[in-house]
Amino acid sequence: MQMRVMVKNQLQRSASDQQTATYMKMAYSKKDLCCQCVPTKATNTMLYSLLMDPQRRPSSTGSSCCHSNTESESDPQQGVLDLSMRNSQKSSRSSSEDGEKAVTVLHRLAPEHYAMIHHAASQVLIQTIDFMRKLPAFTYLPPNDQMLLLMRSWHEIVAIGVAQEKVPIDTVSVPAPPCECCTGAEMHWGGTPPPTLTMPGCILSSDLDDIQQFVMKYQSLDLDCKEAAYLKAAVLFTPVPGLAHPHYIEALQKEAQQALNEYTMMTRPLETLRFARILLMVPLLRGIKQEPITELFFRPLIANVRMEDVLRQMLFT
């Protein structure tokens, strides 16, 4: 009982520390869209080192920086639903042409929102690590257990943060290279290297759909900060092989779920199925892979550095 009260109190405090309105202002204001406008928090981490390194910043070609003379005409907070429809139309047009064989389509961030989205996603990642470090139930675990839980769930918690903070996912389509059996004109790419399925910053249409489906579902439920914190905790405390204390982790997950249930009953008494609807998003989260999240949001920032190394340094530094 004492452990249950402690976990619930810590989750409530973590939720209240989110400061969503302040973050939204910081993530989307023109003042902070510049690659040089790096927050002063946790400046000794690898992610911040990479952000401050001119050699590792996103290319200025096609990107929109706050000090640029040309302002983007697009709304940074454009609805993800509209973006999903646009991307589906692009993918449909690219998938087949005049009865020819279907072509695999990759997606990458739109150039006009390139710098802004990477900056906002970096803030979400920092919030994710801060959320974990503020949970005593997590920090009391052995370092190996912390790292195992982090590596299993970081991309799912980042996806929650992306949906929570309404980070736009505006992408453009890129045709994948033809298969090895293709020859002649189909192999011609105008002298430029063809994109590949492992092309940095590109993901498959199916992976993009997985991310956008979750984001749309999350935003349709309109979770508040405490509901998001309880959901993040339930996702974080998921038992995985190799844990020194798997039963303790499972108990923490149940406590987070119970706290979410009690909170929704207290704040939304007329929505009797709200708790169930929130938990039904978990399968959508499980369908999101780590690699697409890394490639879409962080690859241009970390270059060839392993995401595991970035996360480890952010957690333990």
Residue 307 lies in a domain: yes
Give the distance from CA 285 to its chain's centroid: 11
Residue 244 lies in a domain: no
Cα angle 275, 278, 283; round to 5: 130
Distance CA 73, CA 75 (A): 7
217: CB partners within 8 A, 6+ apart: 281, 284
Residue 181 lies in a domain: no
Distance CA 311, CA 292 (A): 16
Q: Which of 236, 217, 207 is nearest to 294 (CA)?
A: 207
Query: What pLDDT shows up at residue 4?
Result: 58
Query: What pLDDT shows up at residue 23?
Result: 33
Query: What pLDDT shows up at residue 303?
Result: 87
Query: What pLDDT shows up at residue 2?
Result: 57
Residue 262 lies in a domain: no
Residue 32 lies in a domain: yes
Distance CA 199, CA 207 (A): 14
Residue 245 lies in a domain: no
The overall average pLDDT reported for the chain is 73
Q: How far is CA 62 from CA 87, 114, 254, 296, in A?
A: 19, 8, 47, 16
Q: What is the amino acid identity at position 279? A: L
Residue 236 lies in a domain: no
* Residues with pLDDT less than 70, the chain: 1-104, 176-198
Tokens of 310: 């970035």
Number of domains in the chain: 1
Tokens of 210: 């997985």
The range of the structural domain enclosing residue 298 comes to 22-65+77-94+105-175+194-222+272-316
Tokens of 127: 């919030």
Q: 61-111, pLDDT tens digit by residue? A: 333 333 333 333 333 333 333 443 344 444 444 443 443 444 567 888 888
Task: Give the CATH number for residue 297.
Answer: 1.10.565.10
Residue 249 lies in a domain: no
Q: Which of 257, 259, 263 is nearest to 279 (CA)?
A: 257
Q: SS3 string of the chain? A: CHHHHHHHHHHHHHHHCCCHHHHHHHHHCHHHCCCCCCCCCCCCCHHHHHHHCCCCCCCCCCCCCCCCCCCCCCCCCCCHHHHHHHHHHHHHHHHCCCCCCCCCEEEEECHHHHHHHHHHHHHHHHHHHHHHHCCHHHHCCCHHHHHHHHHHHHHHHHHHHHHHCCCCCCEEEEECCCCCCCCHHHHCCCCCCCCCCCCCCCEEHHHHHHHHHHHHHHHHHCCCHHHHHHHHHHHHCCCCCCCCCHHHHHHHHHHHHHHHHHHHHHHCCCCCCHHHHHHCHHHHHHCCCHHHHHHHHHHHHHCCCCHHHHHHHHHHC
Say what the pTM is.
0.67
Tokens of 201: 């910053």
Query: What pLDDT shows up at residue 291?
Result: 94
Q: Which of 274, 293, 152, 151 is nearest to 212 (CA)?
A: 293
